[in-house]
Amino acid sequence: MKALIDTNIVLDILLAREPFLESAMKIIQMVDNGKMQVYVTANSITDIIYISRKHRTLEELQRLILDLLDRVDVIGVDRDDIISAFKLGFNDFEDALQSACSEKAQMEYIITRNKKDFSCSNVTVIDLSEFLAMHC
């Protein structure tokens, strides 16, 4: 199974955000157990670092991101993805870009905590708790 995890889930993991950490870590456990492949978009990494700098040092973030990249694959972002994202009609460009890249990479799911943000997605969007109820 291939799924993109939304930036908010990665932030839950890296910043140990409660009450979301335990659920988010179950995705990582599924990856570690070979039950699924998880992806993030390249632009999400820059967003994650930018947001996390308020809570972690750059050295901590580099270590955390490198550990994450041992488990998660990265979907590149190119010109066509940006154009596709503009055409989707999302209110939030970051979410639109994640959706466009997920479609191009043939993801089965986009897993998020904010399902409504992806209402225009052509990829099946599932809330993290719904996903875990189905697969754990």
Residues of the domain holding 77: 2-135
DSSP 8-state symbol, 6: P
The alpha helices in 1-136, defined as continuous H runs, are 7-14, 21-32, 42-52, 58-69, 79-87, 93-104, 128-135
Q: Quote the pLDDT of residue 53.
A: 92
Point out the residues of the chain with pLDDT beneath 70.
none
Q: Quote the pLDDT of residue 136.
A: 80
Instruction: Express each pLDDT in 40-75 by its tens digit.
Output: 999 999 999 999 999 999 999 999 999 999 999 999
**Number of domains the chain contains:** 1
Q: Quote the pLDDT of residue 31.
A: 96
CATH number of residue 15's parent domain: 3.40.50.1010
Q: Collapse the DSSP code of 5 into the 3-class scheme (helix H, G, I; strand E, B; otherwise coil) and give the result.
A: strand
